[in-house]
Amino acid sequence: MSVSRELLVNLFYTMAKTAATRIPVDVYDTLRKAREAEDNPLARAQLDAILKDIEIACRTSRPICQDTGTPYLFIELGDEFPLRSGVIEAAAEGIRRATREGYLRPNAVDPVYARNSGDNTGRYVPWVHVDLVPGDKLHVHLLMKGGGSEAPTTLVMSTPLKGWENLKKAVVEAIARAGPLPCPPLVVGVAVAAGGDMAVSLAKRALLRPIGVRNEDPRLAKFEEELLDALNKLGVGPHGFGGRTSVLDVKFDYAHRHPATFAIGIVTNCWAVRRVEAEVTSSGEARILSKHLLPEEGGGCRPGVPSIEG
Amino acid sequence: MAEYRLRTPLSDEDVERLRVGDIVYISGTLVTARDEAHKKVLELLEKGEKPPIDLRGLALYHCGPVAVRRPDGTWEIRAAGPTTSMRMESVEAEFIEKTGIKMVIGKGGMGPRTAEAMKKYKAVYAVFTGGAGALAANAIKRVIDVFWLDELGIPEALWVFEVQDFGPLVITIDTTGRNYYEERMNEVKKNAEKIIEELLKKPIP
């Protein structure tokens, strides 16, 4: 067996459909815990509506949220994997198919000619990030990133001496200022790097790490927890109705910086985290790796790994 | 906080008894409009023409749905949660004044100009849970009509939905001029100052 275009189109179609309709299990479990811990009635009503929405979406294969996002692809491409640009072409085709079948809202708008492309692809869309790695595998994350939760996106070009101080201030202020707009409870990505584009890009990629999975570096693991606790004291709460849970998690990443710069990037994801992780070997075995809430026979939902649809 | 079940068309009395924090489920006719549809309705009224549907007493929904046309030509609404209402802040006061809508539904709240118009012309703003697109679609019984589809595309078109028990909607601006989110955000701002102070005492990583 080898890697065919058809296999990849089917994989990306399944990933897009899964992202839109089936919440990752780590997100679902965290939202349920937040609901159990919540004693503010308005915040609880919001979390109840969110959980109900997730379960309806799962059972009926409807989008969790009507803003099905902009597609971001984070690819690790093995040296011996047989396809290169074909991967991206297949991803675009899988996304177009998921759009045609009503799993994705057409969200790609040409800003110059004021036209919606109608199929979620267009100039630089899907947005692709590729890392070249040893080995024979294609490893890919699809993140369908909602527009509303771009609101708090922040770039601070700090002086290095004030770097960490400015970072702490900027994170708290970004989440406080955005209030209900980005659909909290949020996942927050924070990064430090040399250039502004690097910091924001790393912060976005940090959103891929599942909730509850801490940074590998113990210092940063502790820092993530400090920021998480601090942000949950803000009182923004689910959709701005107060309560205990303003953010579901905080993820930190960094690149080596320039001696003269300390770029801080802050990015958020709404509660409706649409991310799917998959892997393809050079011999053409494709599988989804991430766990999602899947429909069960008899009408319920259960956690599981989606199989690839033809 | 009280809970109400209301049916469109809404009267002044219907909305005047609603208060910030009340939960409402609405049945009847819901009309969607985002940025472009607001602009078009106001342009028509400016020229002395009528919008394609009489909006008096109806509920306006800030929403761009995921809609699929069935083979028989009817529409299936697959997801229809709210969009960010603040984008319409610059035009909503005029929209309320000129169309006579009684309820605006969206997410994230609206500003002082809208709150003032709501007090003056008797209307309320209600939040539907942001992102809960499948839950919203579940309450939409059918598409009565859609306007400006070719010109504006699916998300921006003006959709007319028949809904049953659409909610939970939380009132965050009432006819007394109270604006829940403004109060909440002032508190959050104060909390933020304290939190930053505490965070800065902790060592850097």
Contacts of B22 in chain A (CB under 8 A): none
A167-218 tens-digit pLDDT: 999 999 999 999 999 999 999 999 999 999 999 999 999 999 999 999 999 9
Place of tokens 């009132």: B171
Query: Do residues A173 and A256 share a domain?
Result: yes
Gap between the Cα atoms of B189 and B136, Å rounded: 31
Residue A92's pLDDT is 98
DSSP-H helix ranges across A102-195 = 163-178
In a domain, residue A29? The reply is: no
CA distance A192 to chain B (A): 12
Nearest to A183 among B76, B130, B191 (CB): B130
List the one residue out of A283, A304, A219, A291 whose CA is nearest residue A78. Answer: A283
For A:74-93, CB contacts with B below 8 A are none
Cβ distance of A234 and B109 shorter than 8 Å: no
Residue A240: which of B204, B179, B195 has the closest Cα?
B179
pLDDT given at position B13: 97
- DSSP codes of every residue in A225-279: HHHHHHHTTS---GGGS-SS-SEEEEEEEE-PPPTT-EEEEEEEE-SS--EEEEE
Point out the residues of chain A with pLDDT beneath 50.
none
Q: Is residue A246 part of a domain?
A: yes
Q: Report d(CA B55, CA B10) in Å as an integer.
A: 11
* Confidence at B193, pLDDT banded by 50, 70, 90: very high
Q: Is A53 on the interface with B (CB under 8 A)?
A: yes
Same domain, A15 and A139: yes
A241–chain B Cβ distance below 8 A for any pair: yes
Quick one: A237 and A256 in the same domain? yes
CB contact under 8 A, B188 and A180: no
Shared domain for A108 and A166, answered yes or no, is: no
Distance CA A284, CA A167 (A): 44
Q: Choose from A55, A61, A66, A232 for mutation: most chain B CBs within 10 A.
A: A66
Regarding whether A153 and A140 lie in a shared domain, the answer is no
Residues of B with active-site annotation: 38
Only one residue has tokens 């919008």, namely B51
Give the closest of A42, A64, A234 to B191, CB-based: A234
Instruction: For residue range B39-92, list pLDDT tens digits in order.
Output: 999 999 999 999 999 999 999 999 999 999 999 999 999 999 999 999 999 999
Interface contacts (A, B; CB < 8 Å): 175
CA distance A307 to A11: 9
A111 and A159 inside one domain: no
Q: Which residues 85-144 of chain A have a CB within 8 Å of chain B?
A: 101-107, 116, 118
Averaged pLDDT for residues B110-114:
97
* CB contact residues (below 8 A), chain A span 245-264, against chain B: none
What dotted CATH number matches B3-179? 3.20.130.10
CA A228 from chain center: how many Å? 18
Give residue-wise pLDDT tens across range A72-88: 999 999 999 999 999 99
Question: Is B21 in contact with A104 (Cβ distance < 8 A)?
Answer: no
Q: Which amino acid is at A293?
A: L
Q: What residues does A252 pair with on adjacent strands?
A: A190
Nearest to B135 among A53, A227, A239 (CB): A53
Question: For position A126, what pLDDT does the model report?
Answer: 98
Q: Return the CATH number at A121.
A: 3.30.1330
Q: Are residues A138 and A280 in the same domain?
A: yes
The domain containing residue A285 runs over which residues? 5-21+63-146+274-304
Chain B residue numbers touching A148 (CB-CB < 8 A): 83-84, 107-108, 130
Residue A44 lies in a domain: no
Could you give the CA distance from residue A113 to residue A123 in angstroms, rounded to a whole number?
12
Q: Tell me, yes or no, whether A160 and A88 share the same domain.
A: no
Give the angle subtended at the CA of B78 by the CAs of B74 and B83, to the nearest 5°. 115
CB contact under 8 A, A233 and B134: no
Structure confidence at residue B103 (pLDDT): 98
- Beta-carbon contacts of A287 under 8 Å, excluding residues fewer than 6 positions away, are A278, A279, A305, A308
Distances (CA, A) of A249 to A31, A257, A273, B27, B91: 11, 25, 12, 37, 36
pLDDT, tens digit (0-9, with 9 covering 90-100), for B129-153: 999 999 999 999 999 999 999 999 8
Number of independent structural domains in chain A: 2
User: Chain B residue with minimal CA distance to A246?
Assistant: B188
- Under an 8 A CB cutoff, do B134 and A45 touch? no
Minimal CA separation from B189 to chain A, in Å:
6
Please indicate, yes or no, whether residues A208 and A265 belong to a single structural domain of this protein.
yes
Chain B residues with CB under 8 Å of A176 CB are: 188-189, 191-192
Cross-strand bridge partners of residue B128: B169
Tell me, yes or no, whether A140 and A152 share the same domain: no
Q: Which residues of A touch B166 (CB under 8 A)?
A: none
Residue A97 falls inside a structural domain: yes
Q: In the prediction, which pLDDT does A105 show?
A: 92
Report the residue of B20, B184, B193, B202 to disrupt the A interface, i.e. the one with the largest count of A CBs within 10 Å: B184
Q: How far is B3 from chain A (nearest CA, A)?
A: 12
A66 vs B: CB within 8 A: yes
The token pair that represents A73 in the structure block:
């692809």
Residues A92 and A211 in one domain: no
pLDDT of the residue at B1: 81
A188 and A78 within one domain: no
